[in-house]
Structure 1
């Protein structure tokens, strides 16, 4: 490493001697040399890099424009799809409202029909109950009559047996025959 430093110091001293003598040399003023070096680098970049940089920037611009156009195209497609879906949603809501209204009407009709059928069933039950009640009353009245007749007959038989002597029985038989004979 010392060798490299020694060579660099010798080269610098030779260059400074040559510069003093009016030949080619290195300017040791840092501000002046940086400005010149920067101008040289910028000039080389502009001269040689113009085509490359222009092409790169042009490609980049074309890609950005294509991306913007693609995004606008997708935005339009999304807006169209959104409008289509909104229209389908509106149609579905209208259909749902129509179905709901039809169901309500059907429910009202079914309710009215059920109420009318219930009224008919109630009237039929009332008529059946009234008829059953009437027939039961008639049966009870018939049974009561039969019982009353049976009791009356039993009492008459008891009286007749206890209160009829053979002479009264002969008179009763004669009267009955006379009544039958006269009725013929």
Structure 2
């Protein structure tokens, strides 16, 4: 409304004879009627058009706000879901780590137990090998001693065995055979 008065004052100033500023109240000379009709037509027809444009703009803005709120809610839900998945993944990683540590402990214990068994088996094997070697050495020594004893006996027998000693040995042997039967 203030712009109408400004328009009237400007139009009146342009028609002023003195060249100064002033208000012209002559309705026909200032075209106030024409301006009022144009403004009334603009207000009458423009109100529905402008109202429609503003209503559409308002509904578009409301729709965009609603859509933005829905996207925000979806993003919040997705964030919560991903945080839950992250927490589950961290729990799973902790469980896997604990299982790996348990397996490593069990494997270390099994290896140590097997090593102890292997060491014991090796000790027994070494002891058995030593005993076998000792028994073989003893048997070999016995054979050598027996062979040496026979050699010595054979070498000394002809010098010690005379006819009287041979008869005594034969008699004793017969007596033993006779007494045993």
TM-score, with length taken from structure 1 = 0.67
Deviation at 1:123, TM superposition (A): 1.2
Give yes or no for the alignment of 1:51 onto 2:44.
Answer: yes
The runs of 5 or more residues in structure 2 that have no matched partner are 1-13, 16-28
Q: 1:101-153 CA deviation, whole Å, 9 max, x = no partner?
A: 21121112111111111121011101111110111011000110111011112
Q: Tell me: CA distance 1:42–1:151, structure 2 relative to 1, closer, same or farther (3 Å).
A: farther
**1:81-92 aligned within 5 A:** 81-92=74-85
Calculate the aligned-residue CA RMSD, in Å.
Answer: 3.3
Identify the residue that residue 75 of structure 1 maps to in structure 2.
Answer: 68
Q: Tell me: CA distance 1:69–1:80, structure 2 relative to 1, closer, same or farther (3 Å).
A: same
Give yes or no for the alignment of 1:154 onto 2:158.
Answer: no
Identify the residue that residue 58 of structure 2 maps to in structure 1.
Answer: 65
Deviation at 1:41, TM superposition (A): 6.4
Q: Tell me: CA distance 1:166–1:38, structure 2 relative to 1, closer, same or farther (3 Å).
A: farther
Q: What is the rounded CA distance, in whole Å, between the counterparts of 1:105 and 1:159 in structure 2?
A: 79
Q: 1:18-55 CA deviation, whole Å, 9 max, x = no partner?
A: xxxxxxxxxxxxx76xxx79867644532333333222
Query: Would you say how many aligned residue pairs link Structure 1 and Structure 2?
Result: 151
The runs of 5 or more residues in structure 1 that have no matched partner are 1-30
Q: Tell me: CA distance 1:94–1:167, structure 2 relative to 1, closer, same or farther (3 Å).
A: same
Identify the residue that residue 169 of structure 2 maps to in structure 1.
Answer: 174
Q: Tell me: CA distance 1:169–1:37, structure 2 relative to 1, closer, same or farther (3 Å).
A: farther
Identify the residue that residue 27 of structure 1 maps to in structure 2.
Answer: none
Q: Tell me: CA distance 1:102–1:38, structure 2 relative to 1, closer, same or farther (3 Å).
A: farther
Identify the residue that residue 118 of structure 2 maps to in structure 1.
Answer: 125
Mean CA deviation greater in 111-120 or 136-145: 111-120
Q: With CA pairs under 8 Å and 6+ residues apart, which has the higher RCO, 1 or 2? A: 2
TM-score, with length taken from structure 2 = 0.68
